[in-house]
Amino acid sequence: MARPIALLPEKIDLDMARLLERIALAIGGLNSTVSGGFVHQIWHQRACWTGYARALQLQGVELDEIDVISWATTTPIPGRARFDTLVDPFDAFVPWTVMLGERDQRHWREDLPFTPVIPTGFSDAPLILRAIAILSQHAQATGDISPWLSLPLLLARMGLTRTPLPCLVAGDKAMRLTPRDSRAIVRRVLRDLVAQAEDGLAIVIELDAERRRWIRLLGEARKPGALRALAVLSLREPILRPEHVGRTLGLSRSGAGKA
């Protein structure tokens, strides 16, 4: 097998610099807001669904985030086409989430299924570009979903994030080909990473606003009843059906609908 090619631009133009700045701002926001607590736990689960959906798309599997959520919460979505395949598209999800939760701090070279080629200027390049250079080699060395899923862990091990942020799954299918214009590929990956990071930050803000709304409602309720449990359930699971709410909270179907 040919040695993988590292995508590392020799120069950073203005457009690339702006993308790097946006990524840094979004990741900085994520680092400061998802450091722990109840909202962090909920966000982490949502981010896993988001990141895994993006990895499936990069792998050429035509599933969206809503399909991953439906599978993870065993909640069928009316109108969604059934995905029939001989290969289980979700078989890598649990091992990936387990790996993301590991506490030991390893060097970024560990666990790579290939020997990375360190290009000229690697140590002087921004961490994001270093990670993309390694990601490109991983994608060329391995044809499965693992390269795309490896990026959050790689970014954490390189020191860009405090912990692996599951939403930071990004890439480009052209990474697996012999690149003619590596700068164009790197720009697309940067834009993808910007979108993933900014969407992840938006979810944190949305979850915190929803948490505050529930706190206000519970404070105003004379008889909260099942409201506390419903608040937790609605924050944890973005798709709720009356039957599921009823089973979880011990309510009748009519009671679940009112809740």
208/235 Cα distance (integer angstroms)? 10
Domain positions in the chain: 14-202, 221-258
Could you count the other beta carbons within 10 Å of the beta carbon of residue 4? 21
In tens, the pLDDT along 84-142 reads 667 789 999 999 999 998 877 788 998 899 999 898 889 999 999 999 999 999 999 99
The span from the CA of 72 to the CA of 49, in Å, is 8
Residue with tokens 């052209």: 174
pLDDT, tens digit (0-9, with 9 covering 90-100), for 238-248: 776 666 566 66
pLDDT above 90: residue 224:
no
> Dihedral, CA atoms, 155, 161, 165, 167, nearest 10 degrees?
-70
Q: Strand (E) positions, the chain?
A: none
Q: Nearest-CA neighbor of 58 among 223, 189, 253?
A: 189
Q: What is the pTM of this model?
A: 0.85
Per-residue pLDDT at 172 = 95
Q: 151-164 pLDDT, tens per residue?
A: 999 999 999 998 89
Six token digits for residue 229: 């449990």
| Closest to 112 (Cα-Cα) out of 92, 87, 141, 73 | 141
pLDDT, position 256: 45
pLDDT confidence of 219, banded at 50, 70, 90? confident
| Residue 187: pLDDT over 90 | yes
CB crowding 162-193: b at 16 or more within 10 Å, else e: ebbbbbbbbbbebbbeebeebbebbbbbbbbb
Q: What is the amino acid identity at position 103?
A: R
Pick 208 or 169 by higher pLDDT: 169
